[in-house]
Structure 1
Amino acid sequence: MISSDPTPPAAEPRKQRADGAEARLLLLHAALRLFAEKGFAKTSTREIALAAGANLAAISYYFGDKAGLYRAAFTEPMGCTESDLTLLDQPDLSLRQSLHGFMANFLAPMKQGELVQQCTRLHFREMLEPTGVWAEEIDNGIKPAHAALVALLGRRLGLPQADDGLHRLAFSITGLAVQLFVTRDIVQAIRPRLLDPEGIDAWLDQMVNYAEAMVNIEAAQRSAAPAQASLPPHSNASQAAA
């Protein structure tokens, strides 16, 4: 049974050789599949190297150690959140442009097919058998991206400070994309063409429409709230009765 203690700090990997990109990728994909199937503790570096057709020493050369390989398999195929932060912090972009860029980065891994499903399974396994990597991802990736989205929405809605409603809006917008990762198996069984690259692009445009509508609804509700609060008590009672 895997320990709940964090994985040991990864050793610093050596600089990758120019001709080593393919070998590194083979190791990364083999590790992702095996870690998703068996977890960190029950997967040996020897079987990863064997599955990748690589020398065992290649793992330390490219990733430092097993912990470094696990971190790379957990994070790299899903992309980097740094580009999200950049997109969400550009005042010259319209709301739609910002949301489109954010959603496009979020959905890009979906075009990798089975690879992204292995990533999702590894994330689920990490939640059940924590090594500490998921907690790191929340602190170093998800929290900053969420804060940037909340800041963007706050600027668009003219709010000087984020409240619970603004956080709910941000989580709801992100949830549009998250649900696709979680339900990929179901979508594949019911409507597989929706997961084709063209289908993902169409889904992207639809999600941006939904997200933009959610922001507009939030703005309308916030505009109506002060007016509703300013009505005399008998007016509120009459409206409730109606």
Structure 2
Amino acid sequence: MNPSDRPPFAAASAIPPAAEPRRQRADGAEARQQLLHAALRLFAEKGFTQTSTREIAQAAGANLAAISYYFGDKAGLYRAAFTEPMNCVGGDTALCNQPGLSLRQSLEGFINNFVAPLKQGELVQQCTRLHFREMLEPTGVWAEEIDNSIKPAHAALVSLLCRHLGLGEADDGLHRLAFSITGLALQLFVTRDVVSAIRPQLIAQPQAIATWAEQMVAYAEAMVGIEAARRSQTPVQLQAPSLAADRSAS
């Protein structure tokens, strides 16, 4: 076994904390990307412990030493493959929570940033598979992602919802609303293979994804409206199409 392939801790799949990033040469960007993409594919297929650095280097057409140069070690490469391709999911939600922005503008910023990685096509499918594998075979990186990215993004979304609903403090109902809005975008990542099998044109092109995101913004805005009505105990009027309209359409 290559020494760099041994699990970093006694626990077979634990990943040590991230080290300081190594300064990268400008002419090494392409080589680094090739290593990153090869590692992403292999880690998603086989997991951390069953993937060797030699195998990754060979798939990327690179020297084994390049992994140490660009990522430090196998654990650093795994962390980069796990986080970098999807690092704009959720975006900087705090920027969407500005006093001058309307509710729709805030939701547009959040949802558009969240679904932006989907425009990378096959790459994001591999990222999703790696995230699923990490949940089944945890190394600790997923827990880091929750603490460092997901919790702050959720807190920022809750904050902007509090502001637009005029609430001083978030309760369980508001957190449910925030999770539900996030779920609109998250389900595209989880069900991408299903959507591709049933209605591929919905996500086949970046413009198609943008169209779906625009529709999600409208759904999210409606959800906020329903929550506001629920809190004010005002009945929500939902207009159903008339039977005459249904017959004429058919």
Structure with the bigger RCO (C-alpha within 8 Å, sep 6+) is 1
Alignment of 1:140-159 (within 5 A): 140-159=148-167
* Cα contact 1:154–1:162 (8 A) shared by 2: yes
Indicate the residue corresponding to 1:25 in structure 2.
Answer: 33
Q: 1:205 maps to which residue?
A: 214
Matches within 5 A, 1:72-221: 72-80=80-88, 83-195=91-203, 196-221=205-230
Deviation at 1:5, TM superposition (A): 5.6
Of stretches 86-95 and 61-70 in structure 1, the one that deviates more from structure 2 is: 86-95
Q: For 1:95 and 1:101, how far apart are their aligned partners in 2?
A: 10
CA distance in 2, matches of 1:205, 1:81: 16
Q: Tell me the SS of whatever aligns to 1:91.
A: coil
Q: Secondary structure at the match of 1:160?
A: coil
Q: Does the residue aligned with 1:173 lie in a helix, a strand or coil? A: helix
Amino acid at match of 1:145: A
1:44-85: per-residue Cα shift (whole Å, max 9, x none)?
111101000011111111111111111110011112468423
Of residues 83-92 and 202-211 in structure 1, the stretch that sits farther from structure 2 once superposed is 83-92
Question: CA–CA distance in 2 between the matches of 1:87 and 1:11?
Answer: 28
State the SS of the aligned residue for 1:202.
helix
Distance 1:57 1:202 in 2: 44
- In structure 2, what is the Cα distance between the partners aligned to 1:21 and 1:188? 32
Q: Deviations over 1:197-233 (max 9, x none)?
A: 12101101000000000001100111117x9xxxxxx
TM-score, reference length from structure 1 = 0.89
Structure with the higher fraction of residues in helix conformation: 1
Structure 1 segments unaligned to the other structure (5+ residues):
228-242
Is contact 2:57–2:67 with CA below 8 Å preserved after alignment? Answer: yes
Amino acid at match of 1:208: V
Number of corresponding residues: 225
Identify if the C-alpha distance between structure 1 residues 153 and 108 changes in structure 2 by more than 3 Å, giving closer, same or farther.
same
After TM superposition, the structure 1 = structure 2 runs for residues 64-79 of structure 1, keeping only pairs within 5 Å, are: 64-79=72-87
Taking only the aligned residue pairs, the percentage that are identical comes to 78
Aligned CA-pair RMSD:
1.7
